[in-house]
Structure 1
Amino acid sequence: MLDFCAAYGCSNERSIQTRSRGITFHRFPKDNSLKRQWELAVKREGFVAAERSLLCSEHFKPDDFDRTGQIVRLRHGVKPSVFNFPSHLQKVFVPFGKRIH
């Protein structure tokens, strides 16, 4: 069975090629609250992570990882935050007190 990254627009799949590029894959958390935060972060309408759903390491900041052991692990409680969304999915930042016309 092939494993693909669940992030919107990401085409990374678990393979020898991605491993050689240093890309790792991480399952969605079992903790329901954190899992829901991950699901919302990928911005796929109606997405609910399955047991085998994964995100690749390209969607996390370098500081999100614990690389002290032989296995690369995510630090406890981190959320994916690195995405390349199309403009219609990007948040619009409105400074406090400003109005959009």
Structure 2
Amino acid sequence: TPRYCTAICCKNSGGPNNKDRKLSFCPFPLHNKDRLEKWLKNMKRDSWIPSKYQFLCSDHFTPDSLDIGWGICSLKQTTIPTIFSLPEDYQLLEWGQ
């Protein structure tokens, strides 16, 4: 099953057709409310609630926070995604709700 990154302005997806890049997809920390809130705040999607079938790609994490093997993303328990490239004038639209 292909996986898609849910970050705004990120077009990364994974699956059989995307073997050219070492890209991993990280599940949201749904069982850690404080950490989840930090993820969503950094993503500029504060009011959005991800499901267990949605992911962030490894491009949004610093290399030292990832432990990648076999395309599966293992994060340190304190890892927060910090790399997002939103346009300066980006206005959050209530999309996908």
> Normalised by the shorter chain, which TM-score bucket?
0.7 to 0.9
Q: Which residue of 2 aligns with 1:79?
A: 80
Higher Cα Rg: structure 1 or 2? 1
Name the amino acid aligned to 1:56: C
Deviation (angstroms), 1:66: 2.4
Task: Tell me the matched-pair count.
Answer: 88
Name the amino acid aligned to 2:79: V
Per the normalisation by structure 1, the TM-score is 0.73
Deviation (angstroms), 1:79: 0.3
Name the amino acid aligned to 1:7: A
Moved more, 2-11 or 15-24: 15-24
Instruction: Check whether the contact 2:26–2:56 (CA below 8 A) recurs between aligned residues.
Output: yes
Deviation (angstroms), 1:53: 1.7
**Does 2:47 correspond to 1:43?**
no
Once the two structures are superposed, the pairs formed by residues 18-97 of structure 1 within 5 Å of their partners are 18-29=18-29, 30-44=31-45, 46-67=47-68, 72-89=73-90
Cα RMSD (Å):
2.1
Instruction: Check whether the contact 2:40–2:46 (CA below 8 A) recurs between aligned residues.
Output: no
2: distance between equivalents of 1:19 and 1:60?
20
Name the amino acid aligned to 2:52: E
Name the amino acid aligned to 2:26: H
Q: Structure 2 unaligned segments of length 5 or more: list them.
A: 91-97
1: distance between equivalents of 2:53 and 2:19?
18
Instruction: Please give the secondary structure, in 2, of the residue aligned with 1:34.
Output: helix
Q: Which residue of 2 aligns with 1:95?
A: none
Change (3 A) 1:88 1:37: same
2: distance between equivalents of 1:72 and 1:51?
14
